[in-house]
Amino acid sequence: MAQFRVGRRLVLSLLVGLIVCLSAVQTAFAETEQEGRVYRLGDRILTLGSWGADVFELQLELNRAGYDVVADGLFGRQTQLAVLSLQVASGLEPDGIVGPATLAALRSQFGTMEYVVQPGDSLWVIARRFDTTMDEIVALNRLTTSVLQVGQRLQVPAPRTYIVQEGDTLSAIAVRFQTTVQALAALNDIRDPNRIRVGMELRLPR
């Protein structure tokens, strides 16, 4: 009889644990969905317990930076420890929270490039162009205002790929991304640098 009671308690404990776990997962998904929105890395602050596609992106980038993290979309203890290590190595306050400064520190390990502000540019336009966020550009350049001046030089995360646009040439792309025609041609197995097509995706040197 005593064994039955112990077994029953164990089953009840497991059921309660399962219910709590399912509730936590549902809550986490609810946090990442706002009117059907899926968050991208940089859209929100990430902390222990966060869950979603942006956490998965974070974990992939931590992996690329050499941190041993399982990319499962859940900001658990392992991810937090990796973030803390990154923050210490980058001279940031080690709080385990991924905000603009921490994200900028992470992505700066993959390289940055200089961009000169053009007429009509804004932080939003530049962020879209380089597949990053306004907060990250602000953090990288320690900006105190969102107002940009034509000719102002900004550091932006170096993109990994580029889609060829109408009027592009390989030499112009090389100048834009501070590399060479030879490097682009070799990386993308291009035999004739004068023949690239609109919509072609080019890998960019790091």
* pLDDT value for 44: 93
Residues 190 and 152 in one domain: no
Residues 193 and 167 in one domain: yes
The per-residue pLDDT for range 141-192, each reduced to its tens digit, is 889 999 999 999 998 887 777 889 889 999 999 888 778 899 899 888 899 9
The per-residue pLDDT for range 182-202, each reduced to its tens digit, is 989 988 889 999 989 999 988
Residues 126 and 147 in one domain: yes
With 60 as the cut, is the pLDDT of residue 4 above it? Answer: no
Q: Enumerate the β-bridge partners of residue 203.
A: 161
Q: For residue 78, give the CATH number of its domain.
A: 1.10.101.10
Residues 144 and 125 in one domain: yes
With 80 as the cut, is the pLDDT of residue 15 above it? Answer: no
With 80 as the cut, is the pLDDT of residue 49 above it? Answer: yes
What is the pLDDT of the chain when averaged over all its residues?
82
- Cα–Cα distance, 9 to 11 (Å, whole number): 5
Residues 102 and 57 in one domain: yes
Q: For residue 128, give the CATH number of its domain.
A: 3.10.350.10
In-domain check, residue 190: yes
pTM: 0.50
Domain with 119 in it: 111-157
Terminal-to-terminal C-alpha distance of the chain: 68
In-domain check, residue 191: yes
- Cα–Cα distance, 137 to 142 (Å, whole number): 8
Domain count, the chain: 3
With 60 as the cut, is the pLDDT of residue 33 above it? Answer: no
